[in-house]
Structure 1
């Protein structure tokens, strides 16, 4: 029986997130994790694997990914080429079956964590095409006639950035958790993991400024957890003081703003706010 996930030295898990992970493990249901980009969804799977002492198999989904690729792919082109060359391998179709990530997880000697990352990037039918395999933990290989069954039911973690709605039938089979953006106390703990020993005054000023930026009306892309960690790394590298970071969100662009603001619209927004603030002070 696997242990209980409570987070790791490298990953701060809130109580509700830990409860969700452990509930999914107990129920043997896929854990569907949603949240803003940069809130640690992908990293969660890696840390769950580390915490529970399991290997991790990662399947990163793209817009062109098909569900069948997670099972296996039959390389008919290579078989045809080998037949033309008189290769003996051609007589065994199994030589041309490439195992997908689900097959690797099913065939593992011990229980593993299977990450299906950014499931919402694929076609809308992609999640439904995996329903049977994730439910029964088996699938049929038509070319060889064999049925592949999971030796050990993997811990399945599925992430989504909410780019599109997922089918109801798929949602019913998952244990769902939405990672809320960390409050300032949780963010403080996260920062201390990644930047231990950071001066309290600098961190207070930086996080105050960061949350002011996130709450600025009209912002197209709010900066994420990963982006504030990058920003703090630059702040420490440049040895900026708390005074360098203070100011309201309408005063000017934040120092080293390229780490936080990732669209032209948002840079222009802060430039306009700064211009208006200067005009009001005249």
Structure 2
């Protein structure tokens, strides 16, 4: 198994090395980076490139580690018992398998995405230590241990909203996705828009990185927002000359709402453009 990116996902050499190192070490790959840099998409592309099934567990603030293993529906069992329904003694009917359980029982190694782990409670990563380390857990209702048939490739993403516990970090291989440099970004844009005129590509990237270089922005635009913006430019027939003219006239770029997501940043950029900066 060797990952080098896909036709739809440009992976830098550093990212490819990290993915393959985590697979070799049989450790979870912990991915951090700015929002919109392709952290979540990475798991989908690794599964696609290696031709493996994918299980996705999107973590929320209310998510518990137990939900990734299984949930026991005691209420339904009690109701069935009171109504005299058949099959009450079959405990498996009342067990809802979590994403870890599903990934553990596949007949081949799968890719398991634990997305935005830092959204949950601070104890959430610690509650998964043993299961991720040993690749097994005990189901008390069924009185049996659920072990992975094949160790899944575990990819965990974090937006750095919370510090993760040291004990958890020791069990992971870590990689930070740096924001793409202009050359890498051009390759990414080429994947999405192979027919984009070269002059428009150059000018659009110049405008984009110029906005990102504004120090006082609350939220700098990301890769995904650049893709949306270029799509709008192409749909509207905006040309390289149009963007150049706007710069000369000290006006903000069209469809700025695709790049900047709050009024403070929009007003700041407009003020800077009016001053010729």
TM-score class, shorter:
over 0.9
Q: Partner residue of 2:257?
A: 258
User: Mind listing any 5+ residue stretches in structure 1 that lack a counterpart?
Assistant: none
State the distance in 1 between where 2:126 and 2:47 align: 26
In structure 2, list runs of 5 or more residues that go unmatched. none
- Structure 1 residues 178-223: Cα deviation after superposition (integer angstroms, max 9, x where no partner): 0000000000000000001210000000000000000112100010
- Partner SS, residue 152 of structure 1: coil
- Deviation, 1:144, is 1.4
Number of aligned residues:
276
* Structure 1 residues 224-249: Cα deviation after superposition (integer angstroms, max 9, x where no partner): 00000000001111111112223669
- Name the CA shift for 1:239/1:250 in 2 (closer, same or farther; >3 Å): closer
> Matches of 2:138 and 2:71 in 1, distance apart?
12
Q: 2:61 maps to which residue? A: 63
Query: For the Cα contact (< 8 Å) 1:107–1:150, is it kept in 2?
Result: yes
Aligned to 2:189: 191
**What secondary structure sits across from 2:169 in the alignment?**
helix
Superposed CA RMSD: 1.5
Matched, 1:76 2:74: yes
* 1:35-74 equivalences in 2 (<5 Å): 35-74=33-72
Which residue does 1:200 correspond to in 2?
198
Which is worse superposed, 91-100 or 69-78?
A: 91-100
Q: Is the 8 A contact 1:250 1:273 kept in 2?
A: no
Q: Distance in 1 between matches of 2:49 and 2:195?
A: 25
- SS of the aligned residue for 1:255 comes to coil
In structure 1, the residue matched to 2:147 is 149
Task: Give the TM-score of the pair, scaled to structure 2.
Answer: 0.97
Quickly say closer, same or farther: Cα 1:207–1:249, change in 2 above 3 A.
farther
Aligned positions of 1:229-248 closer than 5 A: 229-246=227-244
Question: Among residues 4, 18, 21, which one is paired with 1:20 in the alignment?
Answer: 18
Supply the distance in 2 between the matched residues of 1:11 and 1:35 (Cα, whole angstroms): 16
> Hey, what's the Cα distance between the residues in 1 that align with 2:12 and 2:248?
28
